[in-house]
Amino acid sequence: MDSVINPWSSTPAVDIDRLFSEFGIEPVEAEASALSSPPAFFRRKIVVGHRDYAPIIEAITTGSRFNVMTGFMPSGYPHLGHLMVMREVVWHVEQGGSGFISIADREAHAVRGLSWDDCKKYGALYLECLYALGFEGTAYYQSENEVLKDLAFEAAIKINFSDLQAIYGFTQETSLAHADSVATQVADILYPQVVSGPAPTVVPVGIDQDPHIRLTRDIAHKMRWFTVLDQGEYISVRSKNAPLHAMDAVEEAFPGSKRYEGHLDIPGADIFLVSEQVRQIEAANGGYGFISPSSTYHSFMKGLQGGKMSSSIPDSLFFFDEAIPDVKKKVMGSLTGGRMTKEEQVKCGGEPDGCPIYLLNLFHMVADDDELLEIRSACLGGSLLCGTCKKATFERVKEFLADFKERRESVRHMVTE
């Protein structure tokens, strides 16, 4: 198995350097720097990588059409670990993107064995959180979306078991429903382009979800009618299963091209221009004409206990519906980057970069960069002690949860179970 990550693991082990070097994820700084007012998740380097994010930046800066889509598996109560993706989606919607949210109930049922009723119950809570944060757009449950199911079937034609074995490490014991849920996720990512026409689509995800992105980009390409190849002196447009009228339209668009059975050769052309023109012809003639989906990858916040943040380790995070005294216990009991004694901390300072409390502030609880910098400097300089810092952080968490609760109540009517 060559995959370094398993999206279904409750404790994903992610080798970021290997993802960059072997799987072609690019650092996102250059793209993010083109934004006039980058959000905190870019400024603070929480989102670390991307695939093909440039078309999204262009759409944001020129005001052209783009989509933002992601999915949530409704396998439990929403918690702190879900907040980053939610905020990324909402930010892209605020920048003009059409928002799409899939509640992946078929996946939760197939992979985690959740009942359909539980899927509906948890799904409604995720949607409530998203609307409370400002999400606008299309939200659906996989099991209720007939267009999605048809698209998943079409996508499944292009997926074979060797792909699933190579990408996810599927074995002979893996159920067919699990394999089907993979095709459904591919369909989720391509769905916005099917219902509203081809457009750049960004999928903000945790870095452990990259296998889905890689597979979807591959399948999007395979579902296209044409392949465009650079043959040196000419560009070859090869038909995989294009109807005759589409091939005729391509030939018409490139005067001077030579037509053969199943392919068309265009002398002296630029492959990027030809590819884009052929894609548009495909879309205009009834084909999918998919634009390869883009993605951004955020790093994971350390759990409050210092290890991985996971709902299977309840002390590593807090749930949005958790009682405040319990949240307090978790925050005040968190591991820190502090020293063994007060004297040592005053003398040497703390270590904020590996401190879950500092990361909680950096990821979510302190919006103002100057305030965050003050916390960091005071920690490093030894003037801030961990007890004081945790108390202040808990007050921020309490305020956030109270405000979030109110917002959720005000949007509850938008969600039906």
Give the binding site for ligand SF4 (CB under 6 A): 336-338, 350-352, 355, 357-358, 379, 384, 386, 389-390
Whether 239 contacts 225, CB under 8 Å: yes
150 vs 344, which CB is nearer to ligand SF4?
344
Give min distance, CB of 42 to ligand SF4, in A.
Answer: 22
Q: 230 - beta bridge partners?
A: 235
163 vs 351, which CB is nearer to ligand SF4?
351
93 vs 360, which CB is nearer to ligand SF4?
360
166 vs 332, which CB is nearer to ligand SF4?
332
| Alpha-carbon span 270 to 272, nearest angstrom | 6
194 vs 378, which CB is nearer to ligand SF4?
378
| Alpha-carbon span 352 to 44, nearest angstrom | 14
Strand 67-72, strand 98-103: pairing: parallel
* CB atoms inside a 10 Å sphere around CB 286: 12
Q: Tell me, what amino acid is at 280?
A: Q
| Alpha-carbon span 98 to 86, nearest angstrom | 14
DSSP string computed for 36-54: SS--HHHHTT-EEEEES-H
* CB atoms inside a 10 Å sphere around CB 52: 18
289 vs 350, which CB is nearer to ligand SF4?
350
In 3D space, the residue among 201, 286, 212 whose CA is nearest the CA of residue 249 turns out to be: 286
Give min distance, CB of 289 to ligand SF4, in A.
Answer: 50
Give min distance, CB of 350 to ligand SF4, in A.
Answer: 3
For residue 278, is it left (φ>0), alpha (ψ between -120 and 50) or beta? alpha
277 vs 316, which CB is nearer to ligand SF4?
316
Give min distance, CB of 183 to ligand SF4, in A.
Answer: 44
Give min distance, CB of 391 to ligand SF4, in A.
Answer: 10
In 3D space, the residue among 348, 330, 331, 327 whose CA is nearest the CA of residue 339 turns out to be: 348
Give min distance, CB of 230 to ligand SF4, in A.
Answer: 53
156 vs 380, which CB is nearer to ligand SF4?
380
Give min distance, CB of 378 to ligand SF4, in A.
Answer: 7
Give min distance, CB of 334 to ligand SF4, in A.
Answer: 8
3-state secondary structure 206-239: EHHHHHHHHHHHHHHHHCCCEEEEECCCEEEEEE
| Alpha-carbon span 259 to 243, nearest angstrom | 15
Fill in the DSSP letter of residue 133. H
Give min distance, CB of 379 to ligand SF4, in A.
Answer: 3
What are the structure tokens assigned to 272, written together? 């990027």
Give min distance, CB of 207 to ligand SF4, in A.
Answer: 24
57 vs 386, which CB is nearer to ligand SF4?
386
104 vs 389, which CB is nearer to ligand SF4?
389
Give 273: exposed, middle or buried? Use CB within 10 Å, 0-12, 13-18, 19+.
exposed
